Structure 1
Amino acid sequence: MPVITNIADLKKLHERRTPRMFYDYAESGSWTEQTFRENTTDFDKIRLRQRIAVDMTGRTTKTKMIGEDVSMPVALAPVGLTGMQNADGEMKAARAAETFGVPFTLSTMSICSIEDVASVTTKPFWFQVYTLRDDDFMKRLLDRAKAANCSTIVITVDLQVMGQRHKDIKNGLSAPPKLTPRSILNLATKVPWGLEMLQTKRRFFGNIVGHAKGVEDPTSLASWTNEAFDQSLNWERIAQLRRMWDGKVILKGILDAEDAKLALNVGADAIIVSNHGGRQLDGALSSIRALPSILEAVGDKIEVHLDSGIRSGQDVLKAIAMGATGTYIGRAYVHGLGAMGEAGVTKALEVIHKELDTTMALCGETAVTDLGRHNLLIPKDFEGQWQD
């Protein structure tokens, strides 16, 4: 077993073990992938202030996200097709997250169903939903989430129109994978993955197939998906979706200060500054560069979280020191899952926690809740200077 010291180590193992179409699904962005790349490289532009001669005993990374205790300000982001990275992947990731003390967010487009995840967890988890047009399906979906003891829903608001991801088209992405000469050749090199997938019945979209009207098998899913997403989405529709749920609500996909202000009016408990991991509008700002203006606009009125680009505990620290109250990892934990299953998700969380704890100490802080801009050196033009 190789020594794992960072997320990049898990990424290499993930690529080696998982079929190309599913690895590429996780590790790609839309169009030229500019935003996908800058989500991570923009973190490198922020420097840390080292402080010395501070008593570092009794350090803690514990805090709260929307009122829930967390062992560190990190949640597992909703990621579709996670059960294709590793057999029963969502169930494995949820168990790892619960044991570690961080929130797990299940995607509507998961392979394992809400009920599957509830069967292997003992604490409430979060559930991500899209802004779909079918109210009947949405209400039944939310009823299932309530029955599964989900505490929070995360409404994705940046997917009215699907961004084009070239690799997915070229790979013929599907769940389960369609058998073509190219895919068969690749699957033949992923025997351990294939043997595990043969031992599970969960190979389709568990929250959709058999639940959405007219979707009784995978072949009818594509047409349903094309029709389900609501291109007429507006703020009133988001408010309607919020009223369907009597628990906590987070809006995911805010990237502009004006949208952040509008989000205050729909009764959300938090917003997530996110560009969908660089998978939607290519050429948009990275999430970390968009964060300051959004915090300036609404930071004291609603919790502001950050998603897209987190690959290390240092990234987590930078986002929190900037003013975010929580962060999300997607690719970082998926690399662990694809590499080593549940143990890999745990390893990803351990890596990020150690990096966060050590960096916090070297910055002279003993509590993650004490982090602030005083811990950072931020370039004067970090947000960019743009023409009106």
Structure 2
Amino acid sequence: MRRRLYAGRDVSRAQSIEELRAIARRRVPNFCFEYVEGGAEEEMTLHRNRDVFSEIAFQPRTLVDVTRRNQRRQLLGQESASPFLIGPTGFSGLLSREGDVSIARAAAAAGIPFVLTNVSTTSLEDVVRRAGGCIWMQVYMYRTRAFVEQIARRAHEAGIGTLVLTTDSALYGKREWDTRNFSGPQNLNWRNKLDVIRHPRWIFDILYPRGFPHFANLGDLLGPGQTSVRGAASSILGQSLDPSLSWTDVEWLRGIWPGKLIIKGIMNAQDAARAISVGADGIVLSNHGGRQLDGALSAMDVLPEVVAEVKGRIAVMLDGGFRRGSDVVKAVALGADAVLLGRATTYGLAAGGQAGVERAIEIMRSEIDRVLGLLGCGDIGQLDQSYLRKV
């Protein structure tokens, strides 16, 4: 019943990520949508993440047989059906009931990895058990190192083989678009409370009958009664982050984690090289979706110099602003091993639950396939910078 409620004709007929975004905007309350959309301060970095793609043009080959096209990639020793995976996004449980499970199931069905956020509203064990597929676990470096160690141990015992450490959030960015919706810590103002009433479908899906969802992995960090996504959990989380985070902490995590370790938040070649020296298996170039340091470069801006420094020695991934298959192709041509999708699949989740995420993945895959054919490149592994021109 719930799947039919969301998986309507709007989602199935969406032709682009932008159309899924429009559906999502109608289907969830304003405060939820603005949490997904908002960037830091004047949102210059948020817009830079999209603008950068218009500065790179394709230079296609012609008279090439592209009857067969391949977009499969090897990533950290495993095959992925496409050159992208789904990155960690918080508060998914406010967009669709058990949203983290829905995203994980969609990723598993598509044969791509999914990075489960530490602030999920379903426990990591339940997501692994119910979704299957290739699940990675994201974690912040909290002041309470014992809790970080506990999350790592739980992930390992659940069968998760890859840990993703987010390093660009030692301090919270100033997200004005999001915080203006509240009259106090996570207390909606009257305008947004009235807007919630205008979304009975969302109320039935999210709030009925248990009320606001809770952060399922943070009980030992936040304490009893503090884990509701509506309560003071966000501000407490901000206080729990550690501004003293350094490479020594990464070395400590590497020492206790037996699986693959990814460092997310790298934005220059020197840090990428340092990641190799501390034993990381991969990096994610990221400005946190434009939600942290406003005025920062896009990950696409720094990708070529990072690839020149570390390509072949460590997996190089990136995120930020990817809305089209052509964006992904440009990143791979510049040397990226894979791209992490954030808002693109989150729009799908908000628009139609698991069906919406599946549609977002389908759109991206079909666009990549078409771009490869029109470029005259039958195999994504053959892409290089000769297919691009800076404009």
Please state which band the TM-score falls in when normalised by the shorter chain. over 0.9
- Which piece of structure 1 moves more, 295-304 or 64-73? 295-304
TM-score (norm 1): 0.93
Residues 200 and 71 of structure 1, relative CA distance in 2, 3 Å threshold? farther
Conserved 8 A contact 1:124-1:149: no
Q: Deviations over 1:176-206 (max 9, x none)?
A: x645422320111111111011347570111
Q: Deviations over 1:143-189 (max 9, x none)?
A: 211122112111001111111100221112999x6454223201111
Residues 351 and 173 of structure 1, relative CA distance in 2, 3 Å threshold? farther
- Which piece of structure 1 moves more, 280-289 or 110-119? 110-119
Matched, 1:214 2:223: yes
2-structure distance, mates of 1:226, 1:360: 43
Residues 213 and 288 of structure 1, relative CA distance in 2, 3 Å threshold? closer
Q: 2:163 aligns with which of 150, 153, 164?
A: 153
Q: 1:254 aligns with which of 251, 266, 273?
A: 266
2-structure distance, mates of 1:111, 1:200: 16
Structure 1 counterpart of 2:201: 192
Q: 2:76 aligns with which of 66, 71, 74?
A: 66
Q: Deviations over 1:264-306 (max 9, x none)?
A: 1111111111110111111111111111111122223211111
1-structure distance, mates of 2:299, 2:364: 19
- Which piece of structure 1 moves more, 368-377 or 109-118? 109-118
2:15 counterpart SS class:
coil
How do 1:320-359 and structure 2 match up within 5 A?
Answer: 320-359=332-371
Structure 2 counterpart of 1:386: none
Matched, 1:114 2:111: no
Q: 2:21 aligns with which of 11, 24, 42?
A: 11
Q: Which runs of 5+ in 1 are unaligned?
A: 380-388
Residues 140 and 288 of structure 1, relative CA distance in 2, 3 Å threshold? same
2-structure distance, mates of 1:325, 1:293: 14
2-structure distance, mates of 1:200, 1:341: 18
1-structure distance, mates of 2:116, 2:26: 25
How do 1:229-378 and structure 2 match up within 5 A?
Answer: 229-378=241-390
Residues 293 and 174 of structure 1, relative CA distance in 2, 3 Å threshold? farther
- Which piece of structure 1 moves more, 359-368 or 370-379? 370-379
TM-score (norm 2): 0.92
The alignment's C-alpha RMSD in Å is 1.8
Which letter maps to 1:25?
Y
Structure 2 counterpart of 1:29: 39
Matched, 1:125 2:119: no
Deviation at 1:222, TM superposition (A): 4.7
1:227 counterpart SS class:
helix
1:153 counterpart SS class:
strand
2-structure distance, mates of 1:368, 1:312: 16
Which letter maps to 2:151?
L
Conserved 8 A contact 2:107-2:133: no
Deviation at 1:51, TM superposition (A): 1.9
Which letter maps to 1:67?
G
Deviation at 1:221, TM superposition (A): 3.0
Structure 2 counterpart of 1:384: none
Conserved 8 A contact 2:281-2:314: yes
Q: Which runs of 5+ in 2 are unaligned?
A: 1-8
Q: Deviations over 1:282-340 (max 9, x none)?
A: 11111111111111222232111111111110000000000001101000000000001
Which letter maps to 2:223?
G
Residue correspondences, number: 377
2-structure distance, mates of 1:19, 1:28: 14
1-structure distance, mates of 2:358, 2:124: 21
2-structure distance, mates of 1:198, 1:292: 46
1-structure distance, mates of 2:71, 2:135: 20
1-structure distance, mates of 2:299, 2:112: 21
Percent sequence identity over aligned pairs: 36
Deviation at 1:123, TM superposition (A): 2.9
Conserved 8 A contact 2:105-2:133: no
2-structure distance, mates of 1:92, 1:174: 31
Structure 2 counterpart of 1:172: 182
2-structure distance, mates of 1:224, 1:70: 37
Which letter maps to 1:168?
D
Residues 134 and 148 of structure 1, relative CA distance in 2, 3 Å threshold? same
Residues 150 and 40 of structure 1, relative CA distance in 2, 3 Å threshold? same
Q: Deviations over 1:205-244 (max 9, x none)?
A: 1111x33263443356356423321111111111111222
Q: Deviations over 1:324-368 (max 9, x none)?
A: 011010000000000011000000000000110100111111111
Conserved 8 A contact 1:156-1:252: yes
